[in-house]
Structure 1
Amino acid sequence: MKRCIPGFFLLVCLCLSVKAQQISPVEGSWVGTLAVSGIKLRLVTHIHTEANGYKATLDSPDQGAKDIPIDIVTFQNDSLTLIMNRLGAVYKGLYRKDSVLIQGLFTQNGHSFPLVMQKSEKGITVNRPQLPVRPFPYKEEDVVYENPSTHTKLAGTLTLPQTGTAFPVVILISGSGPQDRDETLFAHKPFLVLADYLTKQGFAVLRVDDRGVGKSTGSFSTATSADFAEDVKAGIAYLKTRKEINPQKIGLIGHSEGGMIAPMVASKSPDVAFIVLMAGPGITGEQILRTQAITFYKKMGASDSEIKTILELSDAVDKLAESNSTDKQKRKEGIVQLIKDKAAGISDSRKKQLEITEDAFLQSVELAQSPWMKYFIHFDPIPVLKQVRIPVLAINGSKDVQVLADNNLKGIETALKQGGNKKYQVQKLEGLNHLFQKADSGFPGEYGTIEQTIDPTALTAIGDWLKKVAGK
């Protein structure tokens, strides 16, 4: 799940073109780290001098992004300016000859963050030691099938053990946001690592690009979790046509939002034999967003009274947005007045630090208008989980700050028990975050800096349980 906190954003990559002096001390590669809302992003700017100006690119290696365009760069009197129109961002820095670094501020949407860039010949290498390398000791096949209800073409990868027949199989269901078949995030590929591990354990694995992502057709932006559930059903129908698959042993593994979708499908489809919920929700979407907000604001150093004010303000903004769904000007004026009234005891500088701003709440309101968010906020997993009678494994990391382990695992277990399901296992994995990495704080800022993609304890927990319920 992705948190719904005003002002939260991740950088995208940039590419620059500018007029340059013939000889420039800023030519070369520059490395810096941008800290935004508890997230640390390492940036590498490559600047090259050409006859008519500069050519430069900026990489965000922790996001697996390289060589993307910026608009304007100027360098005069030791002052470097980067203007990024599409991001609404500007970087202004001072080149320091004595220490060979550029020290300045990165500003976006009225928020400024220190950014020091130091010259580097090597740049940054992102190490992901768990990523499997071809040739694989199993079969790998690109597949395409259709969701007949929407005529969406879904493209993915099916891996099969090298020998044998009638394999048990799992479909991997990704978390929120447009995800490719590997669930790529910060140069990590969790679903590739998981598929590799399980296929070596004797399971077939199907992982798929979300609709509108990669090689899959359709629209992601207009889809809800219910639509993604239909795509999963199409995957089940496809697997039933494959002679290598045991149709009695088709299971689902869902991560985050995928852990919400898996029970939705299993409660309706007799073809699903077992499910694994990785950081799946056991409380409503609205409750998840609220617990996320409290956790993140505490990380930002907010006091209990400040958090109380922010939550009350958020509730008031939500009501305002519902009553002014079409008149954006009235909504904007109303938000300004609400901030003035309800956050009167918080200084302007502190408001800026905590992102209690007009722009931040307007962005939050826009996000809340999307079909996906409307569906998610009102979704309650409890009635769905009560209908699931097949074996269920629910795991969560103790340091997950996006889907908190204790209240969500408790909700899942309570619902399964109330529904009469006696074939379930609930497990909290110590020290793991939302991506099931071994973590320090558990906050998203660590995701890209941790080399590990999935901790072996999580892989083993899933693999051992699957062998018990579906192994040959």
Structure 2
Amino acid sequence: MERILLIVLLFFQSCLGFTQSFKGSWRGSIEVQGTQLPLVFHLTEDDGGAWQGKLVSPAQSSAHLPLSKVEVFGDSLRLAAASLGLSYTGRRVDDSTINGVFAQGPLRAPLTLRRFVEKVRLRPQTPEPPYGYDTLDVEFTNSFDGTTLAGTVTTPRGKGRFPAVILVTGSGPQDRDETIEGHRPFKVIADYLTKRGIVVLRYDERGVGQSTGNYTKSTIGDFSKDAIAAIDFLRGQSKVNPKKIGIVGHSEGALIAKLIAGQQSAELNFIALLAGPAIPIDSLMVLQAYEIGRLGGMNERQLQQAKVINRKNFAIVKSELGDEHAYRQLLANMSSIIPEPTQAQKNEFRMMVMPSYRYFMRINPVPFISKIKIPVFAAFGTKDIQVPFAANMESLTDNLPPNRQNRLQVYEGLNHLFQNARTGAISEYAELEETFDTDVMRDLADWILRLK
């Protein structure tokens, strides 16, 4: 009897240990268009046995996106984030490894997750309370489609009305702080500007954090309307000077600022562009792929070959071909280097003909830049490999109408996040303790405060 009881107890403990082993942080990568995209899952279980989890895509953002489903049964688990249309099904190989399949839209890719302990990194610029200014969590509505955006307004103390800005994040699902690799650049910028006497509104993108909506089914057109709603909300704040309201956009957020300003689709007084694309998006993506490949060790012959293939791929994506026809053309264009694509590679090509991706690839900011009538501040970093400075600065200089209040500047040694960088590689973002260069923030604040 004791032997039977012992066996039962050992079996129970092994099962319990098996289930408990899913608790913690798991990291892996999927390959998307030749680039490794890291993913991190944080899984927890409460005292009642209910599981919860969060997803982080570090190369895009460090926003902790809540999982809508975490199911654990024996040595297997199922994860899902409904707002992003993604799922993961995996099975535990041992205490530190899970093998499974990641899915999002038409993409299906093998994903092996490995347990890790997240390293605590120093982020000395992240502000901590007490702040010395007023903070207020708010909600406002995009009247075009009813999406509710949640954000934070920081307001200088004192009497009078102040200049005001909204902060618009870069690509990928971003929270109000534009959190990435432990850095919170928008919180740092908001803190600096507010201390200088500027009201700042920053908000979670649709489908992220406390904002409603579906991120994966949205386009830049939708994000632009969210920004317009933010401007309208800011204009109604009692301590805001209605004649000094602008957008500070980073990367894709800067592109949105240009589109809004060029179309005069909102009552704006100025825009500030941080690493903002100023050339057609397909051309930008070719340059970006070249720079990433160069830092990755590709030789010039390989880089030029990739450039030719990428140009044709993006031309297909931009075309008016039907999705299925475009997909077949992509397969044909890639056949010289991938004669027999795997199912995962085929799924990547399917992603390239999704409506939101094709919408993005067709954007050319130049016609919008040429119609901007308000003052513009623009900053680029010489080590930015995501929006390479030379071509974008040249286009902005050539196409932006003259304005004595414009300030266009290139900052030596800064990467896409405006950190002082060694190479500019995306992998450096996490390694660097600096979140955002102080000189750029000082120049931005000085420029806003001097506007007439």
What's the offset of the Cα at 1:360? 3.0
1:360 to 308, 329, 345: 345
Answer yes or no: is 1:238 the counterpart of 2:233.
yes
Report the residue type matching 1:187 in the other structure: G
Alignment deviations for residues 274-302 of structure 1 (CA, whole Å, 9 cap, x no partner): 21100011101111111111122223333
Which secondary structure state, in structure 2, belongs to the residue aligned with residue 406 of structure 1? Answer: helix
Q: Normalising by structure 2, report the TM-score.
A: 0.75
CA distance in 1, matches of 2:109, 2:232: 50
Alignment deviations for residues 33-90 of structure 1 (CA, whole Å, 9 cap, x no partner): 8688787969799999xxxxxx99999796465998686897xxxxxx9999944677
Flag the 1:160–1:331 CA change in 2: closer, same or farther, 3 A: closer
Q: Identity over aligned residues, as a percent?
A: 29
- Please name the residue that 1:5 is paired with: none
- Please name the residue that 2:8 is paired with: none
Report the residue type matching 2:148 in the other structure: K
What's the offset of the Cα at 1:201? 0.5
2:388 to 399, 404, 408: 404
What's the offset of the Cα at 1:103? 10
Alignment deviations for residues 183-226 of structure 1 (CA, whole Å, 9 cap, x no partner): 12223221111111100011111112223333333333333223
1:134 to 129, 133, 137: 129
Q: Is the Cα contact below 8 Å between 1:92 and 1:106 reproduced in 2? A: no
- Please name the residue that 2:3 is paired with: none
CA distance in 2, matches of 1:270, 1:58: 35
CA distance in 2, matches of 1:247, 1:403: 32
What's the offset of the Cα at 1:273? 1.6
Report the residue type matching 1:222 in the other structure: K
- Please name the residue that 1:425 is paired with: 407
What's the offset of the Cα at 1:147? 2.5
- Please name the residue that 1:467 is paired with: 449
Q: Is the Cα contact below 8 Å between 1:388 and 1:421 reproduced in 2? A: no
What's the offset of the Cα at 1:398? 1.2
Alignment deviations for residues 160-203 of structure 1 (CA, whole Å, 9 cap, x no partner): 11112111111111112222221122232211111111000111
Q: Superposition RMSD on alpha carbons, in Å?
A: 4.2
CA distance in 1, matches of 2:163, 2:355: 37
Report the residue type matching 1:193 in the other structure: V
1:286 to 272, 279, 282: 282
- Please name the residue that 2:14 is paired with: 20
1:297 to 293, 298, 305: 293
Answer yes or no: is 1:204 the counterpart of 2:199.
yes
Report the residue type matching 1:414 in the other structure: D
Answer yes or no: is 1:381 the counterpart of 2:385.
no
Q: Is the Cα contact below 8 Å between 1:41 and 1:445 reproduced in 2? A: no
What's the offset of the Cα at 1:436? 1.1
Count, aligned residues: 416
What aligned pairs does 1:141-152 form with structure 2 within 5 A after superposition? 141-152=136-147
CA distance in 1, matches of 2:279, 2:244: 29
- Please name the residue that 1:439 is paired with: 421
Q: Is the Cα contact below 8 Å between 1:399 and 1:430 reproduced in 2? A: yes
Flag the 1:60–1:283 CA change in 2: closer, same or farther, 3 A: closer
Flag the 1:458–1:88 CA change in 2: closer, same or farther, 3 A: farther
| Greater RCO (Cα-Cα under 8 Å, separation 6 or more) | 1
Q: Is the Cα contact below 8 Å between 1:193 and 1:454 reproduced in 2? A: yes
- Please name the residue that 2:5 is paired with: none
CA distance in 2, matches of 1:58, 1:220: 16
Q: Normalising by structure 1, report the TM-score.
A: 0.72
CA distance in 2, matches of 1:213, 1:221: 11
Alignment deviations for residues 372-405 of structure 1 (CA, whole Å, 9 cap, x no partner): x223212221221122222211001111111111
Q: Is the Cα contact below 8 Å between 1:34 and 1:41 reproduced in 2? A: yes
Flag the 1:323–1:464 CA change in 2: closer, same or farther, 3 A: closer
- Please name the residue that 1:222 is paired with: 217
Report the residue type matching 1:375 in the other structure: Y
Report the residue type matching 1:468 in the other structure: R
Flag the 1:21–1:197 CA change in 2: closer, same or farther, 3 A: same
Q: Is the Cα contact below 8 Å between 2:163 and 2:449 reproduced in 1? A: no
Flag the 1:66–1:265 CA change in 2: closer, same or farther, 3 A: closer
CA distance in 2, matches of 1:66, 1:237: 27
What aligned pairs does 1:51-450 form with structure 2 within 5 A after superposition? 63=62, 86-87=87-88, 124-267=119-262, 268=264, 271-314=267-310, 325=322, 327=324, 331=327, 338-340=333-335, 342-343=336-337, 359-360=344-345, 362-371=347-356, 373-416=357-400, 419-450=401-432
Report the residue type matching 2:421 in the other structure: A
- Please name the residue that 2:439 is paired with: 457
